């Protein structure tokens, strides 16, 4: 099969060389340039400006003063592992919470045990959210 493909390729290449070297050499001759006629209107009226337009005064509406926005606390949201220094910023979903956060909840006495995915109910998740809020308030876990 490869020999047949090789032979066909050689024949095609030879055909292309034959056409390019011995083929009719046709040159495209450009048409002779024609004289271009420029049409100019016979009467041209000069532009005269009447009165200059009056300048328009810009009026700026006064914006009411906005009340001062209290500065937000520079406290970053997150929990810091006191043992390793690891910082977790996403822990709102208990299923995807890091293991050390789950262990910290149990070791601080905020939860009874580390819950598996099958044990999670609405009541358990509510107690977990309260426990995480208490854990965030503890000084050793603040970022």
Q: What is the pLDDT of residues 16-61, one digit of tens each?
A: 989 888 876 555 566 666 666 667 666 767 677 777 777 777 777 7
Average pLDDT, the chain: 81
Least confident of 3-12, 16-25, 127-136: 16-25
- pTM over 0.95? The answer is no
Per residue, the 3-state secondary structure of the chain, as one string, reads CHHHHHHHHHHHHHHHHHHHHHCCCCCCCCCCCCCCCCCCCCCCCCCCCCCCCCCCCCCCCCCCCCCCCCCCCCCCCCEECCCCCCEECCCCCHHHCCHHHHHHHHHCCCCCCCCCHHHCCHHHHHHHHHHHHHHHHCHHHCC
User: Averaged over 79-87, what is the pLDDT?
Assistant: 88
Q: Name the residue with higher pLDDT: 69 or 47.
A: 47
């Amino acid at each position: 099969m490869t020999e047949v493909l090789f032979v066909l390729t050689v024949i095609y290449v030879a055909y292309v060389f034959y056409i390019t070297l011995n083929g009719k050499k046709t040159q495209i001759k450009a048409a002779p340039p024609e004289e271009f006629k420029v049409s100019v209107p016979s009467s041209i009226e000069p532009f005269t400006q009447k009165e200059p337009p009056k300048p328009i005064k810009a009026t700026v509406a006064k914006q009411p003063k906005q009340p001062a926005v209290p500065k937000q606390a520079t406290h970053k949201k997150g929990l810091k592992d006191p043992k390793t220094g690891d910082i977790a910023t996403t822990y709102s979903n208990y299923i995807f919470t890091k293991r050390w956060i789950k262990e910290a909840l149990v070791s601080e006495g905020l939860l009874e045990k580390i819950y598996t995915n099958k044990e999670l109910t609405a009541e358990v998740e509510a107690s977990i959210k309260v426990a995480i809020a208490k854990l965030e308030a503890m000084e050793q876990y603040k970022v």
